[in-house]
Amino acid sequence: MSEKTKIGIIICNRYRTCAGGKCLRALKNREGAFSLYAETGVELVGYTTCDGCPGGNVEYTGEEMVKNGAQVVHLATGMLVGYPPCPYIETFKNFLEKRYGVKVVVGTHPIPKKYLDLHTSLGTWEAAKWEPLLAPTLADEATREAYN
């Protein structure tokens, strides 16, 4: 197996007490956005929150994750499925990529079916900008159901 890709995960502060169960299961099973690592090893080197709107912790946690070897930072699926979705998600992505030269992937675990159904009925993700942000976490129906 080739050298492991080192990753960090930043979650929405609304979920600050989250133990990371769905993210860690998806990481182990290489599901959702972690399917990117299906053929390679992966190592988690950081997990924290953004520290709440407008994301004051993103600047400092990005630096810490990169110091720990992070090559990729994942902005957790909760930033997409929370209501409303994180209004700063593109800002965080652009900042982390520009400031630290690290790849940023929006999403971790697959979007649970209940959230996809709700946001679809609300029209939350109708704008074209959401398509590339959602793509890494849109799994098949059975997988979405398993993450409900």
* Domains of the chain: total: 1
pTM for this entry: 0.95
Q: Could you tell me the residue range of the domain that residue 56 belongs to? A: 5-146
Select from 59, 76, 66 the least CA-distant residue to 133. 76
* Interatomic CA distance for residues 4 and 72, integer angstroms: 11
* Interatomic CA distance for residues 51 and 81, integer angstroms: 18
Q: Say if CB 13 and CB 79 are below 8 A apart.
A: no
Interval 54-109: pLDDT, tens: 999 999 999 999 999 999 999 999 999 999 999 999 999 999 999 999 999 999 99
* Interatomic CA distance for residues 38 and 92, integer angstroms: 26
Please report, for the domain that includes residue 103, its CATH number: 3.40.50
Question: Helical H runs in the chain?
Answer: 21-29, 56-67, 78-81, 89-100, 113-122, 130-134, 141-146
In which element (H, E) is residue 102 found? none
- What per-residue confidence (pLDDT) applies to 3? 84
Select from 68, 117, 125 the least CA-distant residue to 106. 125
